[in-house]
């Protein structure tokens, strides 16, 4: 029972480099999310998806891109990494039920941009 799997767990990037954070879920959830967590700031929604082929911006989308070609996978792309993108990134998924949003989170990816 894997749940939500994120890779890699840790990564150091140089300014201007790009990378893709991988996220996969095996619960057949239609909703998937990317959050970033900064100290004292809580979790901020970057992008979310309500199903394969459908994505939308969250609160802090600048500098990121996503795609959702399958129900299981929701990769997050960082283009031209900047120090401000140093953060812990969490992927989550949930099953759509009216009035209930139980999100299941992955273990996170700690990204440092130097």
Partner 1 sequence: QQQVKQSPQSLIVQKGGISIINCAYENTAFDYFPWYQQFPGKGPALLIAIRPDVSEKKEGRFTISFNKSAKQFSLHIMDSQPGDSATYFCAASYHEKLTFGTGTRLTIIP
Site membership for partner 1, residue 18 (CB under 8 A): no
Q: How many Cα neighbours within 13 Å face the side chain of 78?
A: 29
User: Parallel, antiparallel, or unpaired: how do β-strands 64-66 and 54-57 relate?
Assistant: unpaired
What is the x/- site pattern for partner 1, positions 46-85, by CB under 8 A?
--x-x-------x---------------------------
Determine, following the binding rule CB under 8 A, whether residue 42 of this chain makes contact with partner 1.
yes
Query: Around Cβ 68, how many Cβ atoms within 10 Å?
Result: 19
Q: In this complex, which beta carbon is closest to partner 1, that of residue 18 or of residue 101?
A: 101
The yes or no reply on residue 19 touching partner 1 (CB under 8 A) is no
**Of 72, 103, 84, 95, whose CA–CA distance to 36 is shortest?**
84
Q: Alpha-carbon distance 2 to 5, whole Å?
A: 7
When binding is defined by CB under 8 A, the residue of 27, 43, 52, 60 that contacts partner 1 is: 43
Residue ranges binding partner 1 (CB under 8 A): 4, 31, 33, 35, 40-45, 48, 50, 58, 90, 92, 94, 96, 99-108
């Amino acid at each position: 029972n894997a749940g939500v799997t994120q890779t890699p767990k840790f990564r150091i990037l140089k300014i201007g480099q790009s990378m893709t954070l991988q996220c996969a879920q095996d619960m057949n959830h239609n909703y998937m999310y990317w959050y970033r967590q900064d100290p004292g700031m809580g979790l901020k929604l970057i992008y979310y998806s309500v199903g394969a082929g459908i994505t939308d911006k969250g609160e802090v989308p600048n500098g990121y891109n996503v795609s959702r070609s399958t129900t299981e996978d929701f990769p997050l792309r960082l283009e031209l990494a900047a120090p401000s993108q140093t953060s812990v990134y969490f992927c989550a998924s949930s099953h759509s039920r009216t009035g209930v949003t139980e999100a299941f989170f992955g273990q996170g990816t700690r990204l440092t941009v130097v």
